[in-house]
Amino acid sequence: MIIELGSWLKSPPGEVLLAWEQQRMDEAVADVFGYHAVQLGLPALDALRNNRMPHRWVASDAPPAGAAIATALHCEYDALPFPSASVDLLVLPHTLELARDPHETLREVERVLVPEGRVVITGLNPASLWGLRQRAGRARRGLGLGGREPLYLPSSGEFIGYWRLRDWLRLLSFEVEAGQFGCWRPPLKSAAWLQRWDWMEGVGEHWWPVLGAVYQVVAVKRVRGMRLVGLLKTARRRSAGATAVVANRQRVLAETDSR
């Protein structure tokens, strides 16, 4: 049985994960300024609602059903319909896990982002209790023991480890600005039991932070040799003007003393 991410997010563990991601995404995009912001995939998460850019899109690789805040568009993630260096913020909620070519998708992200533009990526952590249960379920299926019992996490897509993703970003000249994990409670299916284990969130964040079921990465596109030419020239003109005024004042004082 194939369980898509959108359907799984309506389950009790999916709702827990979605709530964590929505809160962290609101924090990550709030103070990112510019003109153009794009969310790639997962319209169930309103990733750009706390961002104030005038132009916001939700892009999907399936025909869009409509979006309340951002403009919806249909495109392939590894062939984005934006000019190079034209987007200030890109959000990828589980996009790389579901992309047909995650490497090419990241290259497209690097292409369309402006210098110093930001990308926010969320993903399921294979090195977590939830990830371990998923692997155990797949192993049982491989041995013919799982039957048609659904896996704990979505069946589609491949999980990308946190450190692996950081390596990919570094190869594309991104600088990781922040990284965090969430959802440390055990892989349970009941909403009541998940709520009872809510105390694990604080304990996990303190004692085993990199073992959360989900992670978020914020990275900045760095371009070597770039400098703010306009601001630099303005600052130099102001500095030169101030120096000239001081020099002229000293000359006037000297002439006054000689008289």
Q: What's the predicted TM-score (pTM) here?
A: 0.81
List, for residues 182-201, the tens digit of each pLDDT value: 999 999 999 999 999 999 99
CB-facing half-sphere around the CA of 91: CA atoms within 13 A: 31
In tens digits, the chain (259 residues) has pLDDT values of 445 888 899 999 999 999 999 999 999 999 999 999 999 999 889 999 999 999 999 988 765 554 455 677 888 898 999 999 999 999 999 999 989 899 999 999 999 999 999 999 999 999 999 999 998 888 887 776 656 667 888 887 789 999 999 999 999 999 999 999 999 999 999 999 999 999 999 999 889 889 999 999 999 999 976 654 544 444 444 444 443 333 343 443 344 444 4
* Beta carbons of 59 and 80 less than 8 angstroms apart: yes
- Show me where the domains of the chain are located: 5-226, 229-259
Phi-psi domain of 91 (left: phi exceeds 0; alpha: psi -120 through 50; beta: other):
beta
CATH tag, 5-226: 3.40.50.150
